[in-house]
Amino acid sequence: MKNPWTILPFPCASSASGRRTLRKDLLSALGASGSPVIVDLSACRTLNHEDIDLLLECVAQVSGRDTQVLFVAGSRVNRVLLEVTRISSLVPVFDSVNEALAYPQVAVKHDAENRLAS
């Protein structure tokens, strides 16, 4: 059974070319996905201005569409930065992937898709 959600790693701490590729993958996945997308920032020690720009692009990518996006901050520092930049007022932010998966809107969609599959 296909997972009803998509977990995408956030492209941080990679080379410029690797970052470009991951950025492209992330945005196209957000554009294509109909299921909830969890963007995982756990590998990012901190966020720079490119990261903030990309997170805002992610928000823009799904706005007006049916796709639910959630961010996993991965650390308190990242969470603080997401709050300071007001990104957390646009997108639900969680400390861990497990916490994000327990988010009611993800869980409801998950249950519904499980029912359909069975």
Partner 1 sequence: MELGAVVVVPAEEDFAAIHGSETQTMASSGNSRPLYSSRVPILGNDVLRSWMERVRKLGVPSVWLTSSSSDETVAGSVLAGFARQGVERLLVIKLKSYAELDLADLLRFHCEKRNPVTEAEDARGQLGVSLSDHLALRMAGEKHELPGAADDHWRNAYEFSGYAKRILSARERQELVRDGLTGACAIRPLGTEIREQVWIGEGVKLADSVKVIGPSYIGARTIVHAGATIGPFASVEPDCVVDCGTTVERSTVLPYTYLAPGLLIRRELVDGGYLENMGWGAVADLQPAGLGSRIHRIKERRQAFSKTATDVVSRANRDAARGFARPPTASQPWVQVQL
Residues of this chain that bind partner 1 (CB under 8 A): 46-49, 51-52, 75-77, 79-81, 83-86, 89
Which of residues 84 and 112 has its CB atom nearest to partner 1 in the complex? Answer: 84
Which of residues 44 and 106 has its CB atom nearest to partner 1 in the complex? Answer: 44
Strand partners, 71: 39, 93
CA pair distance 5, 95, nearest whole angstrom: 17
Which of residues 26 and 54 has its CB atom nearest to partner 1 in the complex? Answer: 54
67 and 4 Cβ atoms separated by less than 8 Å: no
The DSSP letter of residue 92 is -
State the minimum distance, in angstroms, from the CB of residue 36 to partner 1.
25
State the minimum distance, in angstroms, from the CB of residue 83 to partner 1.
6
